[in-house]
């Protein structure tokens, strides 16, 4: 198989992080802050039971930290601030399709899920850039 064909069929399962920290939708925001700090991630899949129902990003946390006019922050849960529109990849999703989804939806990570919505891993923009950087044919000067 030539290099162009290999790039075309590169699957997210080859690039994704398989062991992923996640958080429950009902967890308090302070718990999410601790998980982000411990793992140095930028995105956390949000679970309800075994199913992925959203993604919480550092941006979501920083946006939530901004003071609201006329309101005081109280202990809130992850479900209230997570990104509501869930975009996911599956085992058979190509790296190219994952990149297109991230661009189209203006997101930095895709949870990879099975047919029941259970978390298998996560693929990020950084994972895609690493794959490009490792491909000498893409970086070769002409």
Label residue 47 exposed, middle or buried (CB < 10 Å: 0-12, 13-18, 19+): buried
Provide CB contacts within 8 A for 83, sequence distance 6+: 54, 55, 56, 57, 60, 107
| pTM, full prediction | 0.82
Q: Once rounded to an integer, what is the mean pLDDT over residues 62-79?
A: 65
- Least-confidence region, from 44-48, 123-127, 131-135: 131-135
pLDDT of residue 141: 53
pLDDT of residue 1: 46
pLDDT of residue 101: 97
Q: Which fold has domain 3-139?
A: CBS-domain (3.10.580)
> 137 in helix, strand or coil?
helix
pLDDT of residue 62: 81
Residue 104 binned pLDDT confidence (cut-offs 50, 70, 90): very high
Between 73 and 86, the higher pLDDT residue: 86
Number of H helices, E strands in the chain: 6, 5
6 pLDDT exceeds 80? no
pLDDT of residue 97: 95
8 pLDDT exceeds 90? no
pLDDT of residue 142: 47
């Amino acid at each position: 198989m030539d290099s162009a064909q290999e790039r075309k069929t590169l699957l997210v399962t080859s690039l994704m992080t398989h062991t992923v920290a996640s958080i429950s939708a009902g967890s308090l925001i302070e718990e999410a802050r601790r998980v982000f700090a411990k793992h140095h991630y930028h995105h956390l899949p949000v679970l309800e039971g075994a199913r992925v129902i959203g993604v919480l990003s550092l941006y979501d946390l920083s946006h939530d930290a901004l003071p609201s006019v006329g309101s005081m922050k109280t202990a809130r849960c992850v479900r209230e601030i997570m990104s509501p529109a869930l975009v996911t990849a599956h085992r058979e999703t190509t790296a190219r399709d994952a990149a297109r989804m991230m661009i189209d939806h203006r997101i930095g990570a895709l949870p990879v899920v099975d047919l029941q919505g259970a978390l298998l891993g996560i693929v990020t923009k950084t994972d895609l850039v690493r794959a490009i950087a490792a491909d000498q044919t893409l970086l070769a000067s002409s």
